[in-house]
Amino acid sequence: MNNEQFQQLIEQSQRHPLDAAEERQLRAFLAAHPERQTAWDDEMALNRLLARLPDAPVPSNFTAQVLAAVEREEAATARTPQPTWTNWLRLTSWRPATLVATLALAGLIPFFAERHRVHQRTQLARSLAAVSPVAQVPTVEMLQDFEAIRRLGQRARADEDLLTLFQLPQ
């Protein structure tokens, strides 16, 4: 007998007293493993404590009380007015209403999202249209003449000598 079988005997002892064969196995195991004697004794002592714990007191009229409680439940159910179709509609009317509202909201969200997207695109198109005449791209012919391109951004310089002449005392 090994330790696992010893554990099995402990489990069995929790369910029922050991039979003669199991007792023999146990005695042989404990003779070979005296250090396990205390563990076995503790298990048996706990078994005894738990087994001798008295039953919880149950009143002799417990069943009668349960049956009376069942009858009270049934009477209460019978007293509760059965819902007519109008009551039923009133009771359940919030459910379809909530469902419709939820579906409507769920349907409106993509609609408004799409409207917002279209509005944004329109605004972008208008902005581009406003900017495009200002930012004209130079023609190919102009680009071929580098010198002309270079001068594009330059102002003609004033003829300072001529201005000086005009400013001479009259």
Partner 1 sequence: MPPAPSDPDAALMLRVKRGDRAAFEALVEKYRQPVMNVLARSLPDAAEAEDLAQAVFVQVFKSAGRYEARAKFSTWLFTIARNLCLNELRRRARHPAEPLEPAGDGESDLPPRQFEDKSHFSPPDALLHGELEAKVREAIAALPENQRTALLLFQEEVSYEEISDVLDCSLSATKSLIHRARETLKARLKPYLRTGAWPEN
Q: How far apart are CA 25 and CA 29, in angstroms?
A: 6
Least Å distance between CB 39 and partner 1? 9
Helical spans, DSSP H, in 52-159? 62-79, 85-131, 140-144, 146-152
Least Å distance between CB 94 and partner 1? 27
Cβ proximity to partner 1, 34 vs 107, nearer residue: 34
Cβ proximity to partner 1, 74 vs 114, nearer residue: 74
Sequence-ordered list of residues with C-beta below 8 angstroms from that of 10, at least 6 positions apart, any chain: 40, 43
Cβ proximity to partner 1, 16 vs 157, nearer residue: 16
Give residue 109's identity as a one-letter amino acid code: I
Provide the residue count of the chain: 170
Q: How far apart are CA 13 and CA 63, in angstroms?
A: 34
Provide the binding-site residues for partner 1, judged by CB under 8 A: 14-15, 41-43, 45-46, 48-70, 72-73
Cβ proximity to partner 1, 19 vs 41, nearer residue: 41
Block residue for tokens 């009143």: 59
Least Å distance between CB 111 and partner 1? 45
Compute CA distances 80 → 67, 74, 77, whole Å: 20, 10, 5
**C-alpha closest to that of 91 among 101, 83, 81, 80:** 83
Q: Are 120 and 112 in contact (CB under 8 A)?
A: no
Cβ proximity to partner 1, 15 vs 157, nearer residue: 15
Least Å distance between CB 108 and partner 1? 41
